[in-house]
Amino acid sequence: MQTACRILQFIRTALTDMVWPRCCPACGRTLTQREACLCISCIYRLPRTQLHQSDFNELHHKLGSHTRIDKAMAWFWYYRGNDLTSIIIDAKYHDTPRLIRDAAAEYVGELTDEGCNPASFADLTVPVPMHWSKRIARGYNQAEWIADGIRRACGLPIAHCLEATRRHRTQTRLSAVERRKNLQGSISLRRPDIVAGRRILLVDDIITTGATMIAAVEALAQGNPASISILTLGAAKKI
Q: Is the dihedral of CA 57, 150, 92, 27 positive or negative?
A: positive
Residue 27 within binding range of Zn ion, rule CB under 5 A = yes
CB of 20 to Zn ion, least distance (A): 18
Q: Does 26 bind Zn ion (CB under 5 A)?
A: yes
Stated as kind and residue range, the H or E segment containing 143 is helix 142-154
Q: How far apart are CB 38 and Zn ion at their closest, in Å?
A: 5
Among 31, 39, 124, 161, binds Zn ion (CB under 5 A): 39
CB 27 → Zn ion: shortest distance, Å?
3
Binding residues for Zn ion, total number by CB under 5 A? 5
Which has the closest alpha carbon to 225: 161, 166, 163?
161
Closest contact distance (angstroms) between CB of 25 and Zn ion is 8
23 touching Zn ion, by CB under 5 A = no
Figure out which of the listed residues 31, 36, 37, 42 binds Zn ion, where binding follows CB under 5 A: 42
Nearest-angstrom CA–CA distance, 140 and 46:
26
CA atoms of 114 and 53, how far apart (whole Å) = 9
Site stretch for Zn ion (CB under 5 A), options 27-35, 153-161, 195-203, 225-233: 27-35
Q: Measured between alpha carbons, how far is residue 62 from residues 4, 9, 209 in Å?
A: 43, 40, 7
Please tell me the total number of residues recorded for the chain in this structure: 239
Interface region with Zn ion, contact rule CB under 5 A, candidates 39-47, 50-58, 175-183, 201-209: 39-47
Determine, following the binding rule CB under 5 A, whether residue 24 of this chain makes contact with Zn ion: yes
Question: Which positions lie near Zn ion, rule CB under 5 A?
Answer: 24, 26-27, 39, 42
